[in-house]
Structure 1
């Protein structure tokens, strides 16, 4: 693994916070996910960076060296990004939007494109999109995050578009297909199809399964179309956003007790055009997707605290 600036940010955050758990909260990550990343960083650097006990995390001699370098390199890299953004971010005649896979982008583009040109960029990596916005290559980043995580680390302003439950997709022949909702524990013996992401959702899913009394079995990490195919043929079930529009042969079911939540977030470059208006259009695009989902609309009648943020 090559050392990246985000790895130095993690090391600096742990040193500043004095513990991995506090740093995880500041970075908007689950503690197991941050611990795993720290171990990978330590393997790349060839030694332990922190001594950890019940009092917190203290830098080793190697850790002190890395932290000292990080405190020099990170501000220098940020200064370079700011200068590059000022140089490259000439006024745009339209909107440049990056997004991970989700239900809002199409409706947002449709709304924005009535007045100005819109260009889009998609990636499964939220980190990549955030970097592109920081560098001034995109005006906005439309991403998702686990419902219990904080805003992404960094200097971008972020706004919440919605808070949604996570549902599950099953085939029409699945034994639970006729139910109103399904317990996560009832899916203990299933195989799972998931799309890749670089946040903490995988850890949150594992924790939810543990609370339900099982460890998930085979997990197929693949693109959206392959996930759908695996569910259609009964090879797997899949977690999905509540605004998802199921393809033929699929049934979307709420998970009893809402063990998993998903937030849609909009981040922007400081000089992004008409930011407040774009946020309002993104929220309206989400509201439109909810209206098209009879299952989610019915679920919202019985469950408060979810849906589009007003």
Structure 2
């Protein structure tokens, strides 16, 4: 493995936080993912960079050397990126937008809105299953805007060099085959799915860990977990080989049903980020506005999600002594 600047940022983050766990949270990574990456970096460097102790981590002599060099290299690279971004932004102004996302249909709908409203705007897109990779592309100036997400319980956003805005927070629902014995239920407790095998997409964030923790709270440990791409996960669900999880806005394809989980233990924050000075405030605000409009449209078109939202509104109204919603 060749050393990259993002690896130096990870090492710097661990040293500044004094803990792999704290650094992972600041970087928007799962602790296990950062630990694995650190092992690869140490293998490339030829030795351990940190020693773990009761007070956290301390750099080894090799780690001190790497950190000292990073204090020179990282600011120099950052200055180069900022100079290049200023030059490129001045040339492009608001005529071009490079957009990245981890959300397939969400990305397409956003591009449609932007191009319709701004026909003079040239929009290009990039997609990745890795949220941190997209964020790195924004930091490096290869993308102008990234649509990412993370577990709803994590209040931190991500890289502090970027501007971050929250689009929304959605609950996570269960995805089952229409032939599943529980397919006609209006809602499910996670414990009712204790005997299921699960199909989950790969990811470096904490969602897998959050799912496992939710299962433990529900009184069981997940059985077999198939890690697969989205299309393979859907195939396993449709063929009744596994259950899966999805954001509440997900439009189920034929042969699959979406069922709310109660209580709502898992949620997903949809976020948008861009680099200050690399994007004008006017264009950034437009992209954020259209992203929220796209999400609102997705909610409106999803009867399962809209019914769930009405139930939450009625429950809140009853709690405060108000009459329930009439829109049923």
Settle same-fold status: TM greater than 0.5: yes
Report the counterpart of residue 3 of structure 2 in structure 1: 3
For 1:215 and 1:252, locate their aligned partners in 2 and report how far apart those are by CA, in whole Å: 22
In structure 1, the gaps of 5 or more residues are 305-310
- 1:55-114 superposed Cα distances (whole Å, 9 cap, x missing partner): 222222222222222222222222222233234443152432111124422332222111
Give 1:307's aligned residue: none
Q: Which residue is 1:54 aligned to?
A: 54
Matches of 1:45 and 1:165, distance apart in 2:
42
Q: From the two aligned structures, give the one with the greater helix fraction.
A: 2
What residue is the counterpart of 1:228 in the other structure?
234
Distance 1:39 1:14 in 2: 13
Q: Which residue does the alignment assign to 2:73?
A: 73
Please give the secondary structure, in 2, of the residue aligned with 1:8.
helix
Q: 2:131 aligns with which of 108, 118, 126?
A: 126
For residue 285 of structure 1, report the CA deviation from its aligned partner. 0.9
CA distance in 1, matches of 2:208, 2:87: 38
Contact 1:103/1:289 (8 A) holds in 2: no
* Aligned equivalent of 1:292, options 287, 290, 301: 301
Q: Are the structure 2 counterparts of residues 285 and 201 from structure 1 closer, same or farther at C-alpha, using a change threshold of 3 Å?
A: same
TM normalised by structure 1 equals 0.88
Distance 1:20 1:127 in 2: 16
Note if 1:144 corresponds to 2:144: no
Greater CA deviation, 169-178 or 202-211?
202-211
* Counterpart residue number, 1:272: 279
State the alpha-carbon separation in 2 of the partners of residues 80 and 217 from structure 1: 49
Q: Which moved more, 1:197-206 or 1:172-181?
A: 197-206
Residues 268 and 175 from structure 1, CA distance in 2 versus in 1: closer, same or farther, beyond 3 angstroms?
Answer: same
| Alpha-carbon separation, structure 2, partners of 1:13 and 1:52 | 15
Question: Aligned pair count?
Answer: 304
Comparing 36-45 and 133-142, the one that deviates more:
36-45
Superposition RMSD in Å: 2.3
Pick the structure with greater CA Rg: 2
Q: Distance in 1 between matches of 2:39 and 2:192?
A: 34
Query: Please, which runs of 5 or more residues in structure 2 have no aligned partner?
Result: 314-328
Comparing 39-48 with 69-78, which one deviates more in the overlay?
39-48
| Preserved CA contact (<8 Å) 1:195 1:222 | yes
Is the contact between residue 231 and residue 237 of structure 1 (CA under 8 Å) also seen in structure 2?
yes
Question: SS state of the match for residue 52, structure 1?
Answer: strand
**Structure 1 residue 154: deviation in Å?**
4.6
Match in the other structure for 1:193: 199
Per the alignment, in what secondary structure is the counterpart of residue 113 of structure 1?
Answer: helix
- Residue of structure 1 equivalent to 2:244: 238
Question: Are the equivalent residues in 1 in contact too, given 2:29–2:132 (CA < 8 A)?
Answer: no
Q: Which residue of 1 aligns with 2:182?
A: 176
Deviation at 1:217? 3.1
Q: 1:206 aligns with which of 208, 212, 237?
A: 212
Q: 1:269 to 1:108 in 2, by over 3 A?
A: same
